[in-house]
A = this chain, B = another copy of it.
């Protein structure tokens, strides 16, 4: 008897026709049935005459399946056993407590993401370096693109292309001449024939992330393009969306990011984005998280199919500080996936300090949202920048982000929200509806302020005070207090005080 674990992948493959266009002319479906669920899924052609169908079971126990399709081998049935999930398998991600996240097994998830847009398309050496950095455990979400990327620092051809055909010549491309306004002459693609090797590269990345407990925030469309992948016809787009869903949906750690900077995809209209969303809602049996990321204009995050707000800052000075307002506006989790990167490139979106990026993470998190990292240090010799290629990390913020995650993990309930506080501090308190009335846990954060002390008034109960140095990554005991009391601080930036009621 075959087995798979709960929230693992059960895959059935069959041989079938190679002639004609298997991507458009053949069909394969399966129905998976267990005691508690009946799931219909669509298969896909993986090249070399092989067709596959993938399923992620949500329950333990016995399952059967029935295949059907357009060719003789696309029939048959079988059964398998779903075992308990392994230790690090908590299932797919769900929205929890309205503004937060938890795995399907209810384990809380405090998102600390990073972005390596084009890491899936890099040579093996860089790929291995990226994995070594991810092994250090700084991050628990990664944003990256299915399509290759054409942009400053991204003129090399990807290792593979998503379609059969040949790309435009990339010699002569440079930062000097980069533009979004590309006509795609010189490209020769068959947009009805996928290159399975390209999609297997993406799947390898998803799996490598899954093995490390990292969510794969998959960016399905984006505007950084010299090949025409951003300007296909609606029929070509839809074929792509169906193919992507049938290949990737069974991976438990997948999040669907419909686009990066959707508003720079100038030829796509709102109706297009809504059509992609409809395809996704109809064809993803597992209801993975769905978002659309902006450059300038926010998408309408009140749309019911959007599970969380994936935001890029719209302001150079205030962004994560709007977290609490945007929670109120949209009533969904706020994830700041782009708030400028630690680095030193010429662009303002890529040259803030590790201190400032860490500050933004803390502001976002204490206000009941989440933030994402990126790194853009110039590399004149190899032009490898973490934000796009992966490779090696050079900055100071990743260790601090991991420390923030540790602090967040000590939070009672599911996440924080902004509590009552004065004008010059950000106070995070538990956002759990079942938390004890009146709180009992609060983190006071002073950002770029440098107080030498702060006074607190707690008429009721005994409160344990701890001084958190968010940059030095230390938590220092500051005694147990009641009534009006003063906590001495070192008069430096990026400090916090955590108060926990102990009786």
A residues near B (Cβ < 8 Å) are: 176, 315-318, 321, 343-349, 351-353, 356, 378, 422-425, 446, 448-455, 484, 491, 493
Contacts and interface: CB of A to CB of B under 8 A. Distances in A.
Shortest 3 CB-CB contacts between residues of A and residues of B: A348-B424, A344-B491, A351-B450
Nearest to A317: B318
Q: Is the interface of A mostly helix, strand, loop or mixed?
A: loop
A193 to B, nearest CB: 40
A493 B423 contact: no
A129 B153 CA distance: 55
Given A317-B317, A318-B317, A348 B484 contact: no
B484 A176 contact: yes
Contacts of A493: 353
Contact of A347 (B321, B348, B349, B424): B424
Given A318-B318, A423-B316, A451 B351 contact: yes
Contacts of A315: 318
Given A318-B317, A321-B317, A353-B493, A346 B451 contact: yes
Contacts of A345: 451-452
A349 B424 contact: yes
A448 B316 CA distance: 10
A192 to B, nearest CB: 40
B491 A351 contact: yes
A493 B354 CA distance: 12
A423 B422 CA distance: 31
Given A346-B453, A348-B423, A352-B448, 15 more contacts: A176-B484, A315-B318, A316-B321, A316-B424, A317-B317, A318-B318, A343-B450, A344-B491, A346-B454, A347-B424, A347-B451, A351-B452, A351-B491, A353-B448, A378-B491
Contact of A449 (B321, B352, B446): B352
Nearest to A296: B423
Residue of A348, A423, A425, A446 contacting most chain B CB atoms (<10 Å): A348
Contacts of A347: 424, 451
A321 B452 CA distance: 27
